[in-house]
Amino acid sequence: MVENSIRTFALQDAAIVAEIGARFYVKKVPDNAEHPFVLLRSIDDDQLYTMTDFSGHIGLFQLDVFDISQSACEALAESLFSRFAGYSGVMGEVTVGYSFAEKKMGEWSPDDRHFRRVLEIRIASNDR
């Protein structure tokens, strides 16, 4: 599963682990999660085929970065952006041909009392 490989890859970076520990969640955030944390969601998955076989995926993933402080939220988003932008090679259990990262919106949530910054990551992999 590419999502687990993305999580593993992100948590191999000492600076990211120093900021969030293991609070990098896939698909669902536990109730009362401590800040800061990251939520990974799969947005789209295009399957690639050649004339003879299946050859991989191009997946679009969204990383939602949450923190109480706007500056800390932006710094964590920047660390993740730097980790994924332009990467190719082994990522967890899959081989990545390319990884493109794009910074998206950021916002304050008055109900939840935290800042949120969104990154989109497009990854081409050989994952079956």
Coil vs helix vs strand at 15: helix
pLDDT given at position 61: 94
Partnered with residue 54 across adjacent β-strands are 49
Distance from C-alpha of 89 to C-alpha of 98, rounded to nearest angstrom: 8
Q: Which CATH class is domain 2-125?
A: alpha beta
Nearest to 125 by CA among 104, 99, 86, 106: 99
pLDDT given at position 9: 93
Distance from C-alpha of 112 to C-alpha of 118, rounded to nearest angstrom: 16
Nearest to 61 by CA among 83, 40, 87: 40
DSSP string covering 82-99: HHHTTEEEEETTEEEEEE
Distance from C-alpha of 122 to C-alpha of 11, rounded to nearest angstrom: 18
This prediction has a pTM of: 0.86
CB-based contact 4:23 (threshold 8 Å)? no
pLDDT given at position 36: 95
Domain range summary for the chain, segments of one domain joined by +: 2-125
pLDDT given at position 95: 87
Per-residue pLDDT of the chain (128 residues; tens, 9 = 90+): 788 999 999 999 999 999 999 999 999 999 989 999 999 999 977 565 555 655 577 889 999 999 999 999 999 999 999 999 999 999 988 888 889 999 888 888 877 788 999 999 999 887 65
Distance from C-alpha of 124 to C-alpha of 90, rounded to nearest angstrom: 12
